Amino acid sequence: MQYAKLGRSGLMVSRICLGTMNFGAITSEKESLKIMNRALELGINFFDTANVYGGKKGEGITEKIIGKWLEENRKRRDKIVLATKVYGEMGKGVNEKYLSAYHIKKACEDSLKRLKTDHIDLYQMHHIHRDTPWDEIWQAMEQLIREGKIIYVGSSNFAGWDIATANEEAIRRKLLGLISEQSKYNLFNRKIEHEMIPACNYYGVGIIPWGPLDGGLLGGVIKNLGEGRRNTDEIINKLKNNREQIEKWENFCDDFGEDPASTALAWLLSQPGITSPIIGPRTLQQLETSQRALDINFNEESLSKLDAIFPPAGQSPQYYAW
């Protein structure tokens, strides 16, 4: 396994992050426990979850599965960097969602109970909530840090200017600020190259891409259509509208001598500012297969070919102005 610092922090995380969104919703508890065991054996120390994962509102099923795994062997807790999220709706109450100090405090304490741990290593805002002032958000996070309930703060699905605003407000309060951002990023969707990546690089925020295969579109969808999640209406429609591009992609992978899923993941690992793409294995086999990406390297010619198939988004303002 390879490791890297998470953003400007001194925290070392595996270059592949284990995403647990499928645990309890698609993947059974038994299989989920096996996947976590194997991930740890492979050297993956970065585990990502969220309080809303698991398929049933307010129950935190995925966090409970991870909590059960940690409770089975207490030594595991010190071997992983545990990340979860706050923002999503956890009940019917008007304050059971978003980023008020009220909700952040309760959501954190509820996650701690489900995860069977006394602290969260990386507490992430699952989405921006611009109706809540940063003074309130940072006050809540600072209190949790002071109490030892969280160590680092991260974000997810922010805009570039949200990264800037959040960190400038943190600087004003003499806080470390955001050390990571989870954004959707893959060859098929390179929009964060406009402003998000430059903002994160400037502030030393590590980027944790989610959706590296764009729901399976980059995972060999033409050859394997009908398997797993590749037969969903969304994927079928995306393939229909972008078939020529995907055919070029899969032909590239054939010539390159690597399977599409591993190649797509390896491309992310080669991009500047990227710390750990999130994989969301539904099975043990998918977890095992993902490791191949760590050994794939691209030369300039290969990267140019990929840029021709999936054009870079271009950095703002140059991509739309002079």
Q: List residues with catalytic annotation.
A: 53
Q: Are strands 178-184 and 150-156 parallel, antiparallel or unpaired?
A: parallel
Helix then strand count (H, E) for the chain reads: 11, 10
Q: How far is CA 226 from CA 211, 216, 221, 281, 316, in A?
A: 19, 11, 8, 18, 39
> Alpha-carbon torsion 158, 160, 163, 164, what sign?
negative
Q: How far is CA 249 from CA 150, 212, 252, 258, 279, in A?
A: 42, 14, 5, 12, 20
CB 296 within 8 A of CB 250: no
Contacts of 229 (CB under 8 A, 6+ apart): 215, 216, 235
DSSP at 285: H
How far the first Cα of the chain sits from its last, in Å, is 43
Q: Give the tokens for residue 284.
A: 């043990």
